[in-house]
Amino acid sequence: MADTQRTLIIAKPDAVQRGLTGTIISRLEGRGLKLVALKFRVIDESLASRHYAEHQGKGFYAGLVDYIGSGPSAVMVFEGSDAIAAARASIGSTNPVAAAPGTIRGDFALQVGRNLVHGSDSPDSAAREVALFFEADEIVSYTRDSDRWVVE
């Protein structure tokens, strides 16, 4: 696949509690992205602090760390052509009220603090975030027969 990327996706505790984990996976797989790693876990404070390190010192930082650890999350790696941009387009704007209809946030969320899903925002962030949550041997490389119908 040309321009193949990996991106970290987290179905946050609000998505899990609302039974939207499968919908999130389905939307991203339906887009053509390939699920290559998945863990179901409660994200502890130490890991949450490292994940959100770029926001340290901001007024909303403590709330982010507390919330992401408030219940179980589905932490995933998706792979595909321009996976980061494709996933973010499927997820929608950080502010769900501004998110386009047809996006995950546009269809299922109302507030920034309960916006259901995290997606890496750049190749550097994706590499850092994937490495925080997954060891290299936990990411499965495989051929999917349908890929030839998704990517030229």
Residue 16's CATH number: 3.30.70.141
Specify if 88 maps to a domain: yes
Domain hosting 116: range is 4-140
Average pLDDT in the 21-37 region? 98
DSSP state of 98: G
Helices marked H in the chain — which ranges? 13-17, 21-31, 45-51, 61-68, 83-91, 104-108, 123-133
pTM of the model: 0.95
From the candidates 118, 120, 126, 133, give the one annotated as an active-site residue. Answer: 118
Kindly state the greatest CA–CA separation across the chain. 47
Query: Active site includes 55?
Result: no
Specify if 113 maps to a domain: yes
Q: How confident is the model at residue 31 (pLDDT cuts 50, 70, 90)?
A: very high
Q: Which helix (H) or strand (E) holds 116?
A: none
pLDDT at 2: 52
